Every structure is written in structure tokens, then in C-alpha cells.
């Protein structure tokens, strides 16, 4: 009995410190260990080891804390990934769902980007004002008009297409040259193609009003209607993209959430035990967040691959179509940007989905 | 270290688990909790580690009033309490080593330290050679010892054990009890629920006897008569 009291007396200060502060860091508890007798042979080794640790903990406790935290995260991340790889088939289904879902907005956004490129390239879409000249205007007169216009402040460029040039072009592209040759003389008027500096609708219509008053001009046509339509369609497309993206985000959240929910159910025992030995809610949820993270990342990766595959399938025909419009347009490859966006979004959605689905559930698993 | 102040626990089905328990366990004290099954031993232990909440009364552990602990503080409490569960509560999806390491990972020990402490703990219960095995391939007694190793691996201030020697043969039981005694000498506060009265008598520590949720006797067991 007296021996016990001695022990208690001598142990009291360290124990008190360890217990009443309700220790948070590991090293502080290693002190009572030194009092332990058996197993004898182990004691000295452990004693020195724990003293070393304690000292290290004192000198760089903050740094050590972070190191341990990082090590923990790495371990948890690794475990989560290997758990996904352990059940390849079930995981694949989830990843596929995520990939397919996320590739949809990616493809849509790619399409819109490319269309915007088309709409933006001056070659195809810059506003052009065509002045159809009266038939009495000779080539010389037309050339003089061209020079006049070229010096105009509001005009960027003027091209004169003489009736014979027009005919040649018409023959080349329409295939109706034979029919035209049946006519006695060239029915086509000379055309001055004016490219305004400012392509805003107001400026163009002002210019048009000015040009129509020039002598020798039969008709002025502004070729911008289809551009307006394209722009309207692009705006609509943007809206649709936003809507689809939101829906897809929800779908990804639900898909990840459901997978994680099952995971939580399957690992209920583990969660119970971890909570019993003092695992905090954060510690318990961490593996699930990492599972969500990996699912999201893999889904994003797959979506990137799918978007690229889609590009390969579509770019050939798209180029062909563009060449029919005398455009050298080439659909741009889904760049790094879109892939990174996909993966990043996947990760964020994965973690968020995991969090939303497991937080309440984990709190309710109370040992 | 552990103070029960007129604590009662009534279960939702009307069963009275504990009835007006007053109990004081000194820091560093070792005590046995005995009584027939259903007397409330497990319930009492569960109250200490907040697996259950009392219906009335106050409990203090390590100077903390449990009723005042916020949800987020419970893990910190449990990290200071090692528990040997009656049903072991081992995980069968990982090795013995990984099972014992859980409390250390939870408390944030670094990796080298985890290895050392886990092996020391396993060595203590004589299972060092089985660290790589799955608990499924162990006998009941061995699982029990893994549970003990896990309970003490992070040197908790308080050790609770619910029938720690229930599945062990007498020699091993005595050995485990000796280990507990050593922890006690190292300053751990220990409360062991058991109905192995022979063993209790041999150890010669304070004995708390429960019957139908009431505390009927306290003190050392001297003769057979005091046991019941």
C-alpha cells in the first residue's frame, strides 16, 4: 500500500499536467510510462524514445503538428484511392456516371466557344455593306468612287468587284455559268464592297444611309442579318449551357453523394470504433471527403477524355462544313483550360457531395 | 478522477439501469466493479465515456462535468479514456497492428511513434508475433488481448474494462490483471467490470458491487460472504 502511495505521490505532477489539461498533443502523456516496470527490457528504449519525442515536440511543436497533419492527409488520401481501386467495377460505374454527366456541359461549352470563334473571325462575319452600282457606271467611274470611299473616315476598306469579275466568281461558285452565258450581256452590276470601321448596328446603319445618297448607287445592302441571328443563338446557347451546367452539378452531387452514402453504411463499424476511441467528427469524415475527391477527379478526367474524343469525331466534318463557307475555320482542341476546369469542378463537386451526404449520417452514428 | 453524484439511468423502455449511484474514484485508483449480469456494470462504464447520458445526476471525469461537455469535446474526453469492450469492437478489415493503431492515429501521433507504441502494446499482451494477422483468425482470448492492447496503447489517464478476462483462461487472466495492476502503479485510474470474484479477491483492490442498478457495497473483498 505504501509503495502505491509513493508512486501516486511521485507521479502526481506529470499526471496532473497530462490529465487536467486534457492532453491534446501526444508527447505529454509519455511521462507515466517511465514508471512502468514490466516488460523490463522494453522500458529503457521506450523511455528515451519518448523523451526525444517530447523534446522535439517542445522545440517545433507547431511544425510537427503540421507535419503529422499532412502525413495523415496523405495516408487518408492514399487509403481512399486504394479503396476505390479495390472495387474497380463498382467504382467504374460511379466514375462513368460522373464522366458522362460532366462531358455534356463540356461538349456544349466547346461548341459554343467554337461558334463564337466563327462569329468573331473577320473573314466570315465582319459586317459588309455592298453597294450595287447602276449599270451606266463604267469601270473607271467605279474606281474613282472606290478611291473616294477609301478616304472616308468611317470606312476601313473598299473592294471593287467589276461585273466581269462578279460573273467569273458567280460561275465558279454557283455552277450556273452555262445559264449566264446564254444571256447576251452580263446582267451583273458592279459592286463596291465596303467594310466599315465600326461594325456596331447604329454606325452601320448611319453609313448605309450616307452611302445610299451617293450618285450611281442602285442599292445598298447590309449583310449582317445572319450574324445577328448567330449572336442571338450564341446568347441562347450560353443560357442553355448555364442551365445544363447547374443540372449536371446537381447530378454529380447526387451521384457522389449516393456512392458515399453507401460507403458510410458499409463502414459503420469502423466509424463506431473510431468514435469510441476519440475520433472527432472531422477525423471520421475525412476519408469520405477524400473518396469524393477522387471520384470527382477521376470523373473530371474521364469527362476530359470524352470531350477530346468528341472533338476528334467532330472536327473533320466541322472543317469540311467550314470550307463550304470559304472559311479556313478549324475547331479548336479542347484545351488544357477546359480539362482543368472539368477536373477542378469534379473535385469540388465530389468533396461537396461527399460532405453533404455523410455529415448528418456520420453525426448520427453515435456509439 | 471519476465522480458520480446521485446518478440514475432510466432507459426509454422503462428499465432502470442505474439507481442513485454515488461514487468517487481517486486519481490513480484501481477498482473493480462487480455484480450479476444486468446489474448495471456496463451502463456505468458507458456513462463515464459518454456512450450513454444519465437521466439524472452529475458525472465528473478528470475534473470535467460530462453534462457540460459540448459535442465537439467528447472525442477529447474519449482520447483520455481507454476502453476494453466486452465485445472487443475490433475491425476485421485490417490487421491486428492497424486495429491497435487506431487510437494513435486519431490522436495524431506521427508514424514512427505509432509503430513503436503499437508494438510495445502488443508485446505487453503477448501478441507481438500476430501483428500482421487479421483479428478474424484469432481466438476469442487473443481478440480480447488485442482489445486490451488498443485500450492502453496511447497511455490513457483512465482505463475502463468491461469483462476483460471473460474469454481468457485463468493463467492468462491473472497475467492480464497483473498488467492492469502495473498500469495502476504507473498512475492510471482503472475501473474493471468483472464477475471473476476469485481474481478480484486476489488483487486486493477496492470493489464496488452493483445489484439491480444500486450500489450495495464498497470496499475490499475479504471473505466469500462479501462477494454477493
Contact A293/A352 with Cβ under 8 angstroms? no
Mean pLDDT, chain B, integer: 86
Best residue of B187, B204, B205, B220 to probe chain A, by most A CBs closer than 10 Å: B187
Contact B111/A71 with Cβ under 8 angstroms? yes
Is the residue at B111 inside a domain? yes
B8 and B53 inside one domain: yes
> Chain A residue closest to B94 (CA)?
A270
Interface confidence (ipTM) of the complex:
0.86
Q: If you average pLDDT over residues A31-38, what whole number do you get? A: 34
Q: Which domain holds residue B128?
A: 92-155
Residue with more model confidence, B107 or A33: B107
B115 and B170 inside one domain: no
B148 and B170 inside one domain: no
What separation in angstroms does the CA of B186 have from each of A6, A12, A22, A140, A269? Answer: 11, 10, 18, 114, 32
Is the residue at B201 inside a domain? yes
Residue B69 contacts A, CB cutoff 8 Å: no
Mean pLDDT, chain A, integer: 76
B65 and B168 inside one domain: yes
pLDDT at A281 over 50: yes
Is the residue at B191 inside a domain? yes
Interchain contact, A7 vs B185, CB within 8 Å: yes
Predicted pLDDT at A347: 92
Contact B31/B208 with Cβ under 8 angstroms? yes
Among B107, B137, B155, which residue terminates a domain?
Answer: B155
Residue A25 contacts B, CB cutoff 8 Å: yes
Q: Where do we find the cell 442599292? A: A219
Residue B97 contacts A, CB cutoff 8 Å: no
Among B155, B176, B197, which residue terminates a domain?
Answer: B155
Query: Can you read off the three cell numbers belonging to residue A285?
Result: 469524415
Best residue of A50, A277, A281, A362 to probe chain B, by most B CBs closer than 10 Å: A277
Is the residue at B20 inside a domain? yes
pLDDT digits (tens, 9 = 90+) for B162-188: 988 877 788 888 888 888 888 888 888
Is the residue at B86 inside a domain? no
B12 and B112 inside one domain: no
pLDDT digits (tens, 9 = 90+) for A286-330: 999 999 999 999 999 999 999 888 888 888 887 787 777 666 666
Among B133, B155, B177, which residue terminates a domain?
Answer: B155
Is the residue at B117 inside a domain? yes
B136 and B167 inside one domain: no
The SS3 call for residue A365 is coil
Is the residue at B228 inside a domain? no
Q: Where do we find the cell 457606271? A: A137
B72 and B2 inside one domain: yes
Query: Can you read off the three cell numbers belonging to residue A129?
Result: 455593306
Residue B221 banded pLDDT, cuts 50, 70, 90? low
Interchain contact, B80 vs A19, CB within 8 Å: yes
B121 and B50 inside one domain: no
pLDDT at A11 over 60: no
B113 and B203 inside one domain: no
B56 and B150 inside one domain: no
Residue A83 banded pLDDT, cuts 50, 70, 90? confident
B69 and B142 inside one domain: no
Go through the domains of chain A in sequence order and give each one's CATH number. Answer: 2-59 (no CATH), 74-121+228-364 (no CATH), 128-223 (3.30.70.3040)
pLDDT at A3 over 80: no
Contact A117/A332 with Cβ under 8 angstroms? yes
Domain count, chain B: 2
pLDDT at A216 over 90: no
B163 and B73 inside one domain: yes
Closest Cβ opposite residue A278 in set B62, B107, B123: B107
CATH number at residue B31: 3.40.50.300
Euclidean distance between CA atoms A87 and A93, whole angstroms:
10
Residues of chain B with Cβ-Cβ distance to A280 below 8 Å are 72, 75, 106
Amino acid at each position: 500500500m505504501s509503495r502505491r502511495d509513493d508512486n501516486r505521490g511521485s507521479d502526481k505532477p506529470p499526471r496532473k499536467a497530462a490529465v487536467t489539461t486534457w492532453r491534446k498533443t501526444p508527447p505529454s502523456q509519455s511521462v507515466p510510462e517511465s514508471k512502468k516496470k514490466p516488460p523490463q527490457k522494453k522500458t529503457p528504449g521506450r523511455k528515451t524514445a519518448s523523451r526525444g519525442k517530447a523534446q522535439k515536440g517542445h522545440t517545433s511543436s507547431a511544425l510537427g503538428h503540421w507535419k503529422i497533419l499532412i502525413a495523415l492527409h496523405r495516408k487518408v488520401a492514399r487509403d481512399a484511392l486504394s479503396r476505390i481501386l479495390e472495387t474497380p467495377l463498382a467504382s467504374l460505374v460511379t466514375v462513368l456516371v460522373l464522366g458522362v454527366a460532366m462531358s455534356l456541359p463540356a461538349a456544349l461549352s466547346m461548341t459554343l466557344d467554337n461558334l463564337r470563334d466563327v462569329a468573331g473571325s473577320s473573314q466570315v462575319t465582319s459586317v459588309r455593306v455592298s453597294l450595287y452600282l447602276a449599270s451606266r457606271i463604267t469601270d473607271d467611274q467605279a474606281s474613282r468612287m472606290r478611291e473616294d470611299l477609301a478616304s472616308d473616315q468611317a470606312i476601313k476598306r473598299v473592294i471593287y468587284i467589276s461585273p466581269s469579275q462578279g460573273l467569273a466568281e458567280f460561275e465558279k461558285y454557283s455552277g450556273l455559268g452555262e445559264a449566264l452565258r446564254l444571256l447576251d450581256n452580263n446582267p451583273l452590276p458592279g459592286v463596291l464592297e465596303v467594310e466599315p470601321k465600326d461594325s456596331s448596328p447604329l454606325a452601320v446603319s448611319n453609313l448605309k444611309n450616307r452611302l445610299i445618297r451617293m450618285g450611281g448607287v442602285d442599292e445598298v445592302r447590309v449583310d449582317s442579318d445572319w450574324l445577328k441571328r448567330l449572336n442571338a443563338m450564341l446568347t441562347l446557347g450560353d443560357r442553355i449551357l448555364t442551365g445544363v451546367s447547374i443540372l449536371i452539378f446537381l447530378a454529380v452531387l447526387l451521384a457522389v453523394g449516393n456512392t458515399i452514402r453507401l460507403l458510410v453504411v458499409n463502414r459503420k463499424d469502423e466509424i463506431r470504433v473510431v468514435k469510441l476511441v476519440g475520433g472527432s467528427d472531422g477525423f471520421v469524415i475525412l476519408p469520405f471527403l477524400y473518396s469524393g475527391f477522387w471520384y470527382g477527379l477521376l470523373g473530371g478526367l474521364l469527362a476530359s477524355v470524352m470531350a477530346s474524343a468528341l472533338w476528334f469525331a467532330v472536327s473533320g466534318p466541322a472543317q469540311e462544313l467550314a470550307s463550304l463557307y470559304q472559311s479556313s475555320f478549324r475547331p479548336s482542341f479542347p484545351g488544357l483550360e477546359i480539362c482543368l476546369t472539368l477536373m477542378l469542378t469534379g473535385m469540388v463537386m465530389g468533396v461537396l457531395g461527399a460532405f453533404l451526404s455523410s455529415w448528418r449520417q456520420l453525426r448520427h452514428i453515435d456509439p | 478522477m471519476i465522480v458520480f453524484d446521485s446518478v440514475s439511468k432510466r432507459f426509454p423502455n422503462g428499465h432502470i439501469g442505474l439507481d442513485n449511484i454515488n461514487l468517487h474514484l481517486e486519481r490513480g485508483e484501481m477498482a473493480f466493479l462487480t455484480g450479476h449480469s444486468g446489474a448495471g456494470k456496463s451502463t456505468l462504464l458507458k456513462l463515464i465515456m459518454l456512450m450513454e447520458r444519465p437521466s439524472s445526476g452529475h458525472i465528473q471525469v478528470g475534473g470535467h462535468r460530462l453534462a457540460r461537455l459540448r459535442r465537439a469535446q467528447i472525442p477529447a474526453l474519449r482520447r483520455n479514456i481507454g476502453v476494453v469492450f466486452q465485445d472487443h469492437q475490433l475491425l476485421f478489415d485490417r490487421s491486428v497492428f492497424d486495429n491497435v493503431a487506431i487510437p494513435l492515429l486519431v490522436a495524431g501521433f506521427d508514424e514512427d511513434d505509432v509503430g513503436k507504441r503499437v508494438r510495445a502494446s502488443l508485446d505487453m499482451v503477448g501478441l507481438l508475433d500476430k501483428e500482421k494477422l487479421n483479428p478474424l483468425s484469432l481466438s476469442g482470448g487473443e481478440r480480447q488481448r488485442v482489445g486490451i492492447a488498443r485500450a492502453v496503447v496511447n497511455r490513457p489517464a483512465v482505463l475502463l474494462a468491461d469483462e476483460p478476462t471473460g474469454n481468457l483462461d485463468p493463467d492468462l487472466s491473472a497475467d492480464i490483471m497483473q498488467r492492469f495492476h502495473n498500469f495502476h502503479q504507473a498512475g492510471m485510474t482503472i475501473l474493471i467490470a468483472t464477475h471473476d470474484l476469485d481474481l478480484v479477491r486476489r488483487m486486493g483492490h477496492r470493489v464496488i458491487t452493483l445489484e439491480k442498478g444500486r450500489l450495495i457495497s464498497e470496499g475490499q473483498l475479504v471473505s466469500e460472504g462479501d462477494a454477493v
